[in-house]
Structure 1
């Protein structure tokens, strides 16, 4: 399984969430986006609706009757009724359940930097876990480390 760490710095999480979600869905995959705060999920819901006429990202908030059919599901738990094999952690709080997915995107800001460092260290040397660390450089995402 692969874990991509994204250090946001001053970049708003929403700007990369839409990009990553679009790539996963564009490749035919399903995505589960997790945040503990329902207010964050509501903001992400609006963000994914407001991508414009040509780039709408189909999604839903967990708890509805169509959860299993959603390409992108927003949830407060890492349970994936949409059978997603990709998890995006949007609130900076690492969840061990991420390791049950094929790929996890872990977004964190300065407030969650220590937790991200700990997660990086704990995943080091674990069988079947591939880590990649990305940070902004000259306005673009750059791969800074892998292991």
Structure 2
């Protein structure tokens, strides 16, 4: 694993994945980066797909599925596989999906729901394993006002 890849844990406490993910993807696109959203649950990918088309009345976030034609051209790609067909610089892990090799990514986001005990436990185990491996980690949590604050 490349220690240069930043791995950021996002601890959801006040917001849902559907509320947070579109904004993080927008910021990623503003950097000029492509994004890969990986989930193990196909239904979750369906929910994210729908959300990215409709999360704001005045816009949508262009995206596609890895299983569709021209996946390599998508600025944001939704997948359940370990491949990176759109050469994304940012990887988003939104459930218990494997992180896999982070080589080639500038930043990886592990977004977990702190209100779900299994998700919280999984994030703690993942954090410890990555820390023990010498990964470049950061931990972000929401302030009472809902802003993201770097906590570690």
Q: TM exceeds 0.5? A: yes
State the distance in 2 between where 1:51 and 1:15 align.
Answer: 8
Unaligned 5+ runs, structure 2: none
Aligned residues: 143
The partner residue of 1:131 within 117, 129, 137 is: 137
- How far the C-alpha of 1:11 sits from its partner, in A, is 1.9
State the distance in 1 between where 2:89 and 2:61 align.
Answer: 17
- How far the C-alpha of 1:2 sits from its partner, in A, is 0.4
Residue 80 (structure 1) aligned with residue 84 (structure 2):
yes
State the distance in 1 between where 2:83 and 2:20 align.
Answer: 22
- How far the C-alpha of 1:35 sits from its partner, in A, is 0.8
State the distance in 2 between where 1:67 and 1:28 align.
Answer: 18
Unaligned 5+ runs, structure 1: none
Give the equivalent residue in structure 2 for 1:120: 127
State the distance in 2 between where 1:68 and 1:113 align.
Answer: 33
- How far the C-alpha of 1:61 sits from its partner, in A, is 1.2
Contact in 2 for aligned 1:32/1:78 (Cα 8 Å) = no
Q: Secondary structure at the match of 1:64?
A: coil
The partner residue of 2:147 within 130, 140, 144 is: 140
Q: Secondary structure at the match of 1:124?
A: helix
Indicate how the Cα distance of structure 1 residues 87 and 58 shifts in structure 2: closer, same or farther if over 3 A, else same: same
Q: Secondary structure at the match of 1:73?
A: strand
| Superposition TM-score, scaled by structure 1 size | 0.88
Q: Secondary structure at the match of 2:91?
A: strand
Give the equivalent residue in structure 2 for 1:95: 98
Residue 35 (structure 1) aligned with residue 42 (structure 2):
no
State the distance in 1 between where 2:55 and 2:47 align.
Answer: 13
Q: CA RMSD in A?
A: 1.7
CA-to-partner distance for each residue in 1:85-116, whole Å, 9 max, x for gaps? 2100111x152415222211001123211111
Residue 26 (structure 1) aligned with residue 30 (structure 2):
yes
Contact in 1 for aligned 2:93/2:99 (Cα 8 Å) = no
